[in-house]
Amino acid sequence: MRELSMHILDLAQNSIAAGASRLEIEVAADTNADRLVISLQDNGRGMAPDFVSRVKDPFVTTRTTRRVGLGIPMFDAAARACDGRLAIQSSPGKGTYLAATFKLSHIDRAPLGDIASTIVTIIAVNPDLHLRYTQRVDDKAFIFDTDELKTQLDGVPLNEGPVLKWIGEYVKQGTSEETEIN
Amino acid sequence: MLLANIAQNLNLNPINEPSADVEVTSGYASDLLSDVLAKAKNGAIWATNQKHINIIGVAVMLNLAGVIIAGGIEPDENTVAKAREENIPLYITETSLFDVAGKLYELGLRST
Ligand SMILES: Nc1ncnc2c1ncn2[C@@H]1O[C@H](COP(=O)(O)OP(=O)(O)O)[C@@H](O)[C@H]1O
Ligand SMILES: [Mg+2]
């Protein structure tokens, strides 16, 4: 994919499809180690061990509309093309953890892209999801958490236009300074 | 245009040849799988520098006529196995991706 945020959006859809009510996404750059790690942790239905061992194969999917599932395989290929790898841990009934590493400075590494729009899109379609987004550069971190916002909003749904607009601007602003990742 | 004619014309090395005649209706060249998924047409021949198994996933999803790995790149082992299993015509060539696309264009193929 052209931007890493597109992978994040696609993988978030996996978590939602798996019935997750909570999703933690983290994008962390370690400039000393020259490494970028993108991780997603959800509390969805999870996958059985033998399924996890095969899920990087594009012909493994539980979709009924088609035989091919490219979300995880493309994320895996993106990491491998940048001297990294994708690790998957999952337990049925508990949830799934995906973590892809990339060499930060690798010439084939796609840019992170528009993460603010990605977050807004996830929330617009899933206003009840507890989403926590963290972006780190070395020891600096930006955190956006829908539950923290909800306590301040006092019952206003997150997918209302002005709220989404505010979230977009907040994430954009927060990820553009000390924790900026290109 | 028949796939066999294209293979002969471009002097492609077959990794997995189709069991019957395949009609090629368009061409596409790209290394970005999401781009191919969005833009390539059913029945297209796709030229790429990618070699991993996901290219066969894309070919099956789009019902492509075949895949050409350009630039002297060898496909991964599981790519070859999956191409056979799924009956996806797969070719390799030393010719660069640019030149493969140019030759396909010369033969009259377009991306649309
Ligand atoms: N977060 C997740 N929780 C539970 N199952 C998952 C998760 N992500 C992926 N899966 C399973 O892995 C399969 C393959 O995922 P993916 O590669 O994204 O392709 P697709 O979503 O098109 O099936 C899914 O069909 C689903 O069964
Ligand atoms: Mg998916």
> pLDDT (tens digit, 9 = 90+) per residue, A40-91?
999 999 999 999 999 999 999 999 999 999 999 999 999 999 999 999 999 9
Structure confidence at residue A107 (pLDDT): 97
Q: For the stretch A71-110, what's the b/e string if a residue is b when 16 or more beta carbons lie within 10 angstroms of its beta carbon?
A: bbbbbbbbbbbbbbebebebeeeebbbbbbbbbbeeeebb
pLDDT in tens, A19-35: 999 999 999 999 999 99
- Please give the residue of chain A at the shortest CA–CA distance from B54: A58
Model pLDDT for residues A146-179, shown as the tens digit of each residue: 999 999 999 999 999 999 999 999 999 999 989 9
CATH number for region B3-106: 3.40.1390.20
Report pLDDT for A109: 98
What's the whole-model pTM score? 0.95
Mean pLDDT value of segment B27-55 = 98
- Mean pLDDT across chain B: 97
List the one residue out of A32, A9, A20, A6 whose CA is nearest residue A122.
A9
Strand pairing class (A140-145; B13-16)? unpaired
Q: Is A7 helix (H, G, I), strand (E, B) or coil?
A: helix
pLDDT at A76: 98
CB atoms under 10 Å from CB of A5, counted, come to: 22
From the CA of A10, the nearest ligand is 2
Beta bridge partner(s), residue A135: A27, A142
Quick check: helix, strand or coil at residue A39? strand
Give pLDDT, residue A127.
Answer: 96
Domain boundaries in chain B?
A: 3-106
What percentage of residues in chain A have a pLDDT greater than 90? 98
B53 closest CB neighbour out of A1, A58, A67? A58
Secondary element (H or E) of residue B104: helix B97-106
Contact A68 B35 (CB under 8 A): no
Domain at A4-176, CATH from 3.30.565.10, 3.30.590.10, 3.30.43.10, 3.40.50.620? 3.30.565.10
Neighbours of ion ligand 2 (CB under 5 A): A 14, 71
Residue B19, pLDDT > 90, answer no
pLDDT score of B79 more than 90: yes
Average pLDDT for B40-67: 98
* 3-class DSSP state of A52: helix
Taking the centre of ligand 2 as the mean of its atom positions, its distance from the CA of residue A74, in whole angstroms, is 10
Residue B97 is predicted with a pLDDT of: 98
